Amino acid sequence: MLTAGAGLFAALLQFAGALKSLPGMGGLPVDLTALALLALLPSLGFLLVLRQWRVSAALGPPLLGAGLLLFWLVLAGGWSRSAHVMAAKLPQMVLLGPPMLLAGLLVGADGPTRRRFALAVVGIGLLVGAGVGWGLAHDRVVLGGEPGADPERTRVQYQLAGLAMACGGGVAALRLVLARGWARLGWLAVLGALALAVLLPGGRAALLAFGLGVAGAPALLLWRRGRPGMALAWVALVAAAGGAGLAALLLLPGVSADLATLDRLFGDPTERTPARLILWQEALLWAGRMAPFGLGSGSFTIAAGTGDDRHLHPHNHALEALAEGGLPGLLLWLAAFGGGVALALRQAGRVAPERAAVIAALTLPIGLTVMVSTDLGNRMAWFALGLLFSLGVEARRPSPAPAAATAHV
């Protein structure tokens, strides 16, 4: 009973940024992230004590890589030119990164906790989608922008809101494939609702992440069950349904203007500068200039000429590690995050198909997001890395002690 809430509390912590986008959440007397963390820690503590843990030796190299990556980025702060960005980002990596990684590992390794977490993510995705839709309809929210710029409306962090819906969509698609009878209609309705909701916030990466999770997780399940033809057919079906749905929405007059994601995806490209491409070019340029040890943690924005401002980071974790941590930073990032992916691919064929598929549903959208957005201080990336690591760990309930033999008198 004491560990039953771990899945829900972990989901609240992982997607607290998306939940803060709901109208009225800003009026909470305490920060939602801190509240979820305080509730999660004792639950994970009891979970750690009440299970028997078996750890694969394959977990050692990527876990060591993650530790050395954090150590190196702290060391790289010694030659950083940044004051504000480094002071904000390094504590998030060093103080929040390891606990989030451990939380993801424990949640992903324990079957009941993992299932509760996945269902909670679906619920959060639906709640966030409904909240954003209601807020837009009543002009109560604003998509993006500087915090506090419009005090009359709630600021929606549209990347995080879309990411919550994308992860929920992957889990819903997986449950749709696993369901039988009338339950399939229910999960189909949930998936359709999330597919429409992800078009509201305006995140193009979130839309791609949604498609990746919905297509990838069930395909992995079917493949692991020895049905490769059905896996490929599922991917083709998702692609065809997604393309047909988008085409139908674009044909409706005025709909694309009301759906921020479609407007950003199919709007006039001449009105926008491809900012990510510019940032990636700058990151590669400064990585070459400052080789082999990089600019120093948090220094990219200063070198790129945008000041000591965290918003214009490289928008790609690998390029960020390379530009600010140099070649050692990139190699250690590959050892940690690339090693986590390699571990997951290796273990996916050794664990239960459902377990591998749900981890894929919960990590594929975040994996795409970290390559086009967020920086290494984002706790969600570290939790997702823990979920990948969890495939190398097995949690078991302790076996009951055998009854003592009756003594002969």
- Per-residue pLDDT of 189-220, as tens digits, reads 999 999 999 988 877 888 999 999 999 999 99
Instruction: Read off the tokens for 219.
Output: 């395909």
375 DSSP assignment: -
Tell me what pLDDT residue 137 has.
85
273 DSSP assignment: -
User: Could you tell me how many residues make up the chain?
Assistant: 409
What is the C-alpha separation between 287 and 59, in angstroms, rounded? 30
Tell me what pLDDT residue 271 has.
47
Tell me what pLDDT residue 26 has.
65
Is 86 within 8 Å of 297 (Cβ atoms)?
A: yes
What is the C-alpha separation between 409 and 406, in angstroms, rounded? 9
* Cβ atoms within 10 Å of 144's Cβ, excluding its own: 14
Tell me what pLDDT residue 2 has.
65
What is the C-alpha separation between 29 and 305, in angstroms, rounded? 38
Instruction: Read off the tokens for 20.
Output: 């803060």
Segment (H or E) for 11: helix 6-14
Is 249 within 8 Å of 262 (Cβ atoms)?
A: yes
Tell me what pLDDT residue 159 has.
87
Is 71 within 8 Å of 280 (Cβ atoms)?
A: no
* Cβ atoms within 10 Å of 397's Cβ, excluding its own: 11
Is 215 within 8 Å of 235 (Cβ atoms)?
A: yes
What is the C-alpha separation between 132 and 141, in angstroms, rounded? 7
Tell me what pLDDT residue 404 has.
47
**Residues contacting 341, CB < 8 A, separation 6+:** 367, 388
What is the C-alpha separation between 353 and 349, in angstroms, rounded? 8
Tell me what pLDDT residue 21 has.
79
Is 62 within 8 Å of 406 (Cβ atoms)?
A: no
Give CA separation, 1 vs 4, 43, 168, in Å: 5, 9, 25
Segment (H or E) for 393: strand 393-396
* Residue listed under structure tokens 């959440």: 25
What is the C-alpha separation between 328 and 178, in angstroms, rounded? 43
Peptide bond into 292 cis (omega under 30): yes
Is 310 within 8 Å of 292 (Cβ atoms)?
A: no
Residue ranges for the chain with pLDDT beneath 70: 1-2, 26-27, 147-149, 254-258, 263, 266-273, 400-409
What is the C-alpha separation between 213 and 178, in angstroms, rounded? 15
What is the C-alpha separation between 124 and 113, in angstroms, rounded? 16
Give CA separation, 84 vs 91, 242, 324, 394, in Å: 12, 42, 15, 41
What is the C-alpha separation between 47 and 240, in angstroms, rounded? 43
In this structure, the dihedral spanned by the alpha carbons of residues 369, 373, 374 and 380, taken in order and rounded to 10 degrees, is -10
The pair phi, psi for residue 156, each rounded to 5°, is -95, 120
Classified as helix, coil or strand, 282 is: helix
